[in-house]
């Protein structure tokens, strides 16, 4: 029934885009649209590639997760996560921790 109801009133709005008085500039619309654009999700692969390119060594994803956990950053549930760890977690070296933090800053995660 609601889909067949006629509107009580109608407001017509005329908007002109472009430069000049009384017109809405397109540059402002583009800037506002960019502000609402969601950030790209940073993946562990992107972090690993950045660290290898900048520092010349590889880091394990477990090290990235450990640093994120230490910083209190949000973590996503892994579909293959085990309920109990078979081995205790290994903590990365100071050099690798600093590289991971640098990568997180580079990708604006922290």
pLDDT by residue (tens digit) across 45-99?
A: 999 999 999 999 999 988 998 999 899 888 877 777 777 777 787 788 899 999 9
Report d(CA 35, CA 37) in Å as an integer.
6
What is the domain range of residue 101? 44-79+88-106
Environment class of residue 57 by beta-carbon count within 10 Å: exposed (0-12), middle (13-18) or buried (19+)? exposed
50 found inside a domain: yes
Q: How far is residue 73's CA from residue 76's CA, in Å, rounded to a whole number?
A: 10
Residue 4 included in any domain: no
Whether 49 is in a domain gets the answer yes
Residue 1 has pLDDT above 70, yes or no: no
Q: How far apart are CA 42 and CA 14, in angstroms?
A: 41
Q: What is the pTM of this model?
A: 0.62
Structural contact between residues 47 and 103, judged by C-beta atoms closer than 8 angstroms: yes
Q: What is the pLDDT of residue 2?
A: 59
Whether 62 is covered by a domain: the verdict is yes
Greater confidence (41 vs 50) lies with: 50
């Amino acid at each position: 029934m609601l889909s067949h109801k006629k509107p009580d009133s109608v407001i017509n709005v005329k908007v002109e885009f472009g430069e000049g008085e009384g017109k809405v500039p397109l540059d402002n619309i583009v800037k506002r649209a960019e502000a609402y654009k969601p950030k790209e999700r940073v993946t562990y692969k992107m972090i690993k590639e950045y660290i290898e390119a900048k520092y010349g060594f590889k880091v394990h994803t477990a090290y990235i997760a450990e640093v994120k956990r230490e910083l209190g950053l949000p973590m996503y549930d892994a579909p293959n996560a085990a309920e109990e760890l078979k081995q205790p977690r290994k903590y990365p070296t100071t050099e690798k921790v600093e590289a991971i933090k640098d990568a997180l800053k580079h990708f604006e995660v922290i």
